Amino acid sequence: MQVVVLVKQVADTAARIKLADGKQDIDRQSASLIVNPYDEMAIEEALRIKEKHGATVWAVTLGEAKAEEALRTALAMGVDEAARVSAPASDALTVARALAQAVREISADIVIAGRSAADDEQGQVGTLVATLLDWPHVTEVTKLEISGSEGVAEREVEGGVEILDFSLPVVVTTQEGLNTPRYASLPGIMKAKRKEIRQIALGEDVVGQPVLAVRSLELPPPRGQGRILTDLDPAQAAKEIVRILHEEAKLI
**What is residue 18's predicted lDDT score, i.e. its pLDDT?**
77
The structural domain count of the chain equals 2
**What is residue 229's predicted lDDT score, i.e. its pLDDT?**
87
Residue 86 lies in a domain: yes
With bands split at pLDDT 50, 70 and 90, how would you rate the model's confidence at 23? low
User: 199 with 245, same domain?
Assistant: no
* CB atoms inside a 10 Å sphere around CB 30: 12
User: 196 with 227, same domain?
Assistant: no
Three-class DSSP category at 39: helix
User: 187 with 233, same domain?
Assistant: no
Task: Kindly report the average pLDDT of the chain as a whole number.
Answer: 91
**What is residue 22's predicted lDDT score, i.e. its pLDDT?**
66
CATH number at residue 145: 3.40.50.620
Residue 212 lies in a domain: no
User: 144 with 188, same domain?
Assistant: yes
Structure-model confidence comparison of residues 184 and 226, the more confident one: 184
**What is residue 92's predicted lDDT score, i.e. its pLDDT?**
94
Residue 23 lies in a domain: yes
User: 118 with 240, same domain?
Assistant: no
**What is residue 86's predicted lDDT score, i.e. its pLDDT?**
95
Residue 215 lies in a domain: no
User: 172 with 58, same domain?
Assistant: yes
User: 197 with 240, same domain?
Assistant: no
User: Whole domain around residue 6: which residue ranges?
Assistant: 2-207
**What is residue 127's predicted lDDT score, i.e. its pLDDT?**
96
User: 150 with 84, same domain?
Assistant: yes
The pLDDT of 97-122, averaged and rounded, is 93
Structure confidence by residue, pLDDT tens digits, 30-79: 678 899 999 999 999 999 999 999 999 999 999 999 999 999 999 999 99
User: 191 with 252, same domain?
Assistant: no
DSSP H helical ranges for the chain: 37-53, 68-77, 92-106, 125-133, 186-194, 204-207, 234-243
* CB atoms inside a 10 Å sphere around CB 161: 10
Residue 151 lies in a domain: yes
User: 183 with 252, same domain?
Assistant: no
Measured CA to CA, the distance from residue 130 to residue 103 in angstroms comes to: 10
Measured CA to CA, the distance from residue 62 to residue 6 in angstroms comes to: 9
Residue 214 lies in a domain: no
Residue 116 lies in a domain: yes
**What is residue 66's predicted lDDT score, i.e. its pLDDT?**
92
Measured CA to CA, the distance from residue 137 to residue 145 in angstroms comes to: 14
User: 196 with 233, same domain?
Assistant: no
Residue 213 lies in a domain: no
**Cα angle, residue 114 at apex, residues 117 and 186 outer, rounded to 5°:** 100
DSSP H helical ranges for 78-185: 92-106, 125-133
Range with the poorest average pLDDT among 24-33, 72-81, 185-194, 216-225: 24-33
Cα 51–chain centre separation: 23
User: 171 with 74, same domain?
Assistant: yes
Structure confidence by residue, pLDDT tens digits, 149-188: 999 999 998 889 999 999 999 999 999 999 999 999 999 9
Measured CA to CA, the distance from residue 225 to residue 197 in angstroms comes to: 50
